[in-house]
Amino acid sequence: MTTKLEGPLKREINVDGSAYTLTITPNGLTLVLKGRRKGFDLEWQALVSGDAALATALNASLGAPAARPSELPQRSGTSAKDKKR
């Protein structure tokens, strides 16, 4: 017997050595790089209808790969103002 999903369920997963937070809700799922606020959202309706596969195929055909954590810009301890001084 299965249990209905009524609230968010969060789990940490490791992908290629990077920690992500996976949140599963009744509306869909979200995958976010740990320490970040924005990530990948996928609604259940898009997954079931095939829209998610269509979007993936479109992005692949445009040659726009998703940025990996190692490719994201790194924050430095100094601001632009400090560099001018």
36-47 tens-digit pLDDT: 988 888 888 888
The whole-number pLDDT of residue 84 equals 55
Tally of domains within the chain? 1
pLDDT greater at residue 71 or residue 85: 71
For the chain, give the mean pLDDT: 80
- Is residue 58 in some structural domain? no
Mean pLDDT of 57-75: 64
E strand intervals along the chain: 9-15, 18-24, 28-33, 40-43
- Is residue 82 in some structural domain? no
Instruction: Look up the domain containing 17 and give its range.
Output: 1-51
Q: Residues 4-29: pLDDT tens digits?
A: 999 999 999 999 999 999 999 999 99
- Is residue 18 in some structural domain? yes
Q: How far apart are CA 81 and CA 71, in angstroms?
A: 25
The whole-number pLDDT of residue 7 equals 95
- Is residue 6 in some structural domain? yes
- Is residue 64 in some structural domain? no
- Is residue 20 in some structural domain? yes
